[in-house]
Amino acid sequence: MNDDPAAVGQALRHWRDRTNPQDLGLPLGGVRRAPGLRREELAQLASLSVDYVIRLERGRATSPSPQVLASLARALRLSETERDHLYLLAGQAPPATGQVSSHIPRSVQRLLDQLRATPLSVHDAAWNLISWNTLWAALVGDPSPWRGREANIAWRHFTGLPTRVTHTPDQQPRFETALVSDLRSSAARYPRDKPLRTLIADLRRASNHFDDLWNSHTVGFHTTDSKTVHHPDLGPVTVDCDTLTIPGNDLRIAVLSTPPGTATANQFELLDTIGTQTWL
């Protein structure tokens, strides 16, 4: 399977030109020489450098990784057929059935677009973070710099990576049990998914607590629960968290909410203004 850098670049330019920035919640901002996304905007949405996007579009970057291709497909809102075509052009095998998928269908993305006033994040069946909105990044912290395992919620939690989120002594066991139980269910549904098997094996080696929970075969489910996010400017922000599952795609959508008219609801309004920047 050979890659075709020139064809990859041509396809990316076509898809970028057809993408309406307003559909992605981006401001039109000034005069645009092309109707679609700017290269800088695509780079930001796909968590890539602008220089790398330019090299891809000019056919000077060979063999982009599956992770890069998945990020580009999500940023450009490609259909599954278009995503698979991009993989083939790049000399990569498209994601196979029976393996964890990070694809967000257009219908699901439209639903997410309607929830811009609510912090939310999207995860695959292995709890890899694959998408988030600006309000979620403003509250929890910008995940754009995260790479590899840093973007996996289970890995972050059980290996003690920095986080703004805390749970009470009652909440934490429920969260951990549900997370481990969910990974065990995913492993049963995707027995041929090597990255998922490797993640679980590495977690069992890295965290005795994860290994104990895994061996105990305890069962838990993600239900509505609250958690506290420690924002550097707003202080503690307590939110309700609901995890929604999309049947057929095995996506997990974590939605953070608060009752209207409360002090936390007012903090959400401030978050929309602050964004991912912090006050000096």
With pLDDT > 90 as the criterion, what percentage of the chain qualifies? 50
**pLDDT at residue 262, as a whole number:** 79
Residues 187 and 30: their CA atoms lie apart, in Å, by: 48
In tens, the pLDDT along 6-46 reads 999 999 999 999 988 877 777 766 666 767 888 998 998 88
Residues 91 and 65: their CA atoms lie apart, in Å, by: 9
Winning range, highest mean pLDDT, from 175-189, 218-232, 250-264: 175-189
**pLDDT at residue 30, as a whole number:** 64
**pLDDT at residue 280, as a whole number:** 30
CATH number assigned to the domain with residue range 106-274, chosen from the 4 options 3.20.20.150, 3.30.450.180, 3.40.50.720, 2.30.300.10 = 3.30.450.180
- Residue 169 CB burial class (10 angstroms; 0-12, 13-18, ≥19): exposed
Residues 227 and 247: their CA atoms lie apart, in Å, by: 26
Q: Where do you find CATH 3.30.450.180 in the chain?
A: 106-274
The CATH architecture of the domain made up of 5-89 is: Orthogonal Bundle (1.10)
In tens, the pLDDT along 62-86 reads 889 888 998 899 889 898 889 999 9
In tens, the pLDDT along 146-166 reads 989 999 999 999 999 999 999
Task: State the residue for tokens 């995503």.
Answer: 83
Greatest alpha-carbon span in the chain? 60
**pLDDT at residue 199, as a whole number:** 97
Mean pLDDT across the chain, nearest whole number? 88
**pLDDT at residue 153, as a whole number:** 97
Confidence category of residue 269, pLDDT binned at 50, 70, 90: confident
Confidence category of residue 278, pLDDT binned at 50, 70, 90: very low
Q: Where do you find CATH 1.10.260.40 in the chain?
A: 5-89
